[in-house]
Structure 1
Amino acid sequence: MNQTGPAGVADAPCEIPAHVDPALVVDFDYRQPEGIEEGDVYRAYARLHRGPDIAWTPRHGGHWIAMRAEDIKWIQESWELFSNTEKSVPKGQMPPMPPITFDPPDHSRYRAVLNPYFAKRRIEEGYQPKSRAVIVELIEGLKPKGACEFVSEFSFVAPLMIFWDFVNLPYDRREQFLGWGRQAAGYGTAEERVAAFRAVHDYLAELLDQRLEDPGDDVFTGISQWRENPRFRHRDEIVGMAELVFFGGQDTVASQMGFAMQRLAERPELQQRLKDDPDIIPAATEELLRRHGLSNTGRLVRQDVERKGAAMKAGDMVLVMNSLSGIDERAYPDAFTVDFDRGPVPHNSLGNGPHKCVGQHLGRMELRIMLEEWSRRMPIVRLDPGKPAPRSHAGPVIGMSHLHLCWDC
Structure 2
Amino acid sequence: MTIPAHVPADRVFDFNIYDFAVDGAEYQAGMQQLLQGNVPEIFWTPHNGGHWVVTRSQQINEVLNDHEHFSSRQIVVPKPPIERPPLKPLQVDPPQHLKYRNLLAAALSPKAVASLAESARVLAIQLIEEFKPRGECEFVSEFAQHLPVAIFMNIVDLPEQDRGLLTGLAEIVVREEDERLRGDALMKIAGYGMQKIIERRAKPGNDLLSSIAIAKVDGELLNDYDLTGMLTLLLLAGLDTVASMMGFFARFFALNPAHRRQLIEDPSLINNAVEELLRRYPIANLAREVTQDFEYHGVCLKTGDMVVVPTALDGLDERRFEVPLTVDFNRDKPIHATFGGGVHRCMGSMLARTELRLFIEEWLKRIPDFEIKPGTEVKFAARAVATITSLPLVWSPTNTL
What SS is found at the alignment partner of 1:341? Answer: coil
Query: Using the alignment, how far apart are the partners of 2:76 and 2:229 within structure 1?
Result: 15
- Alignment partner, residue 340 of structure 2: 351
What SS is found at the alignment partner of 2:393? Answer: strand
- The letter for the 1-side match of 2:164 is E
Q: Kindly state the Cα deviation for residue 386 of structure 1 after the two structures are TM-superposed.
A: 2.9
Match of residue 401, structure 1, among 377, 389, 394: 389
Say if 1:53 and 1:308, in contact at 8 Å, map to a contact too: no
What SS is found at the alignment partner of 1:320? Answer: strand
- Alignment partner, residue 123 of structure 1: 113
The answer as to 2:104 corresponding to 1:114 is yes
Query: Using the alignment, how far apart are the partners of 2:135 and 2:260 within structure 1?
Result: 17
Q: What is the CA deviation profile of residues 301-341 of structure 1, one whole-angstrom value per residue up to 9, with x for unaligned ones? A: 00123233322111100011112211112211111111100
The answer as to 2:370 corresponding to 1:384 is no
What SS is found at the alignment partner of 1:153? Answer: helix
Q: What aligned pairs does 1:3-402 form with structure 2 within 5 A after superposition?
A: 14-33=1-20, 35-36=21-22, 38-50=24-36, 51-92=39-80, 95-124=85-114, 126-187=115-176, 189-227=178-216, 230-232=219-221, 234-388=223-377, 390-402=378-390
- The letter for the 2-side match of 1:44 is G
Structure 2: runs of 5 or more not aligned: none
Residues 226/239 of structure 1: CA separation in 2 closer, same or farther (3 Å cut): farther
TM-score (norm 2): 0.94
- Runs in 1 of length 4+ with deviation above 6 angstroms? none
Percent of residue pairs identical: 35
Q: Kindly state the Cα deviation for residue 248 of structure 1 after the two structures are TM-superposed.
A: 0.6
Query: Using the alignment, how far apart are the partners of 2:2 and 2:317 within structure 1?
Result: 30
What SS is found at the alignment partner of 2:303? Answer: coil
Q: What is the CA deviation profile of residues 48-101 of structure 1, one whole-angstrom value per residue up to 9, with x for unaligned ones? A: 111111111000110000121111110111000100001111112664111000
Alignment length (residue pairs): 393
Residues 55/49 of structure 1: CA separation in 2 closer, same or farther (3 Å cut): same
- Alignment partner, residue 10 of structure 1: none
Say if 1:86 and 1:300, in contact at 8 Å, map to a contact too: yes
Query: Using the alignment, how far apart are the partners of 2:177 and 2:168 within structure 1?
Result: 10
Residues 115/227 of structure 1: CA separation in 2 closer, same or farther (3 Å cut): same
- The letter for the 1-side match of 2:194 is A
Query: Using the alignment, how far apart are the partners of 1:227 and 1:337 within structure 2?
Result: 48
What SS is found at the alignment partner of 1:300? Answer: strand
Q: Kindly state the Cα deviation for residue 234 of structure 1 after the two structures are TM-superposed.
A: 2.5
Say if 2:85 and 2:228, in contact at 8 Å, map to a contact too: no
Say if 1:204 and 1:239, in contact at 8 Å, map to a contact too: yes
Residues 334/95 of structure 1: CA separation in 2 closer, same or farther (3 Å cut): farther
Say if 1:41 and 1:393, in contact at 8 Å, map to a contact too: no
TM-score (norm 1): 0.92
Structure 1: runs of 5 or more not aligned: 1-13
Q: Kindly state the Cα deviation for residue 228 of structure 1 after the two structures are TM-superposed.
A: 7.4
Say if 2:85 and 2:225, in contact at 8 Å, map to a contact too: no
Q: Kindly state the Cα deviation for residue 251 of structure 1 after the two structures are TM-superposed.
A: 1.5
Q: For structure 1, which segment, 283-292 or 79-88, has the greater mean C-alpha deviation from structure 2 after superposition?
A: 283-292
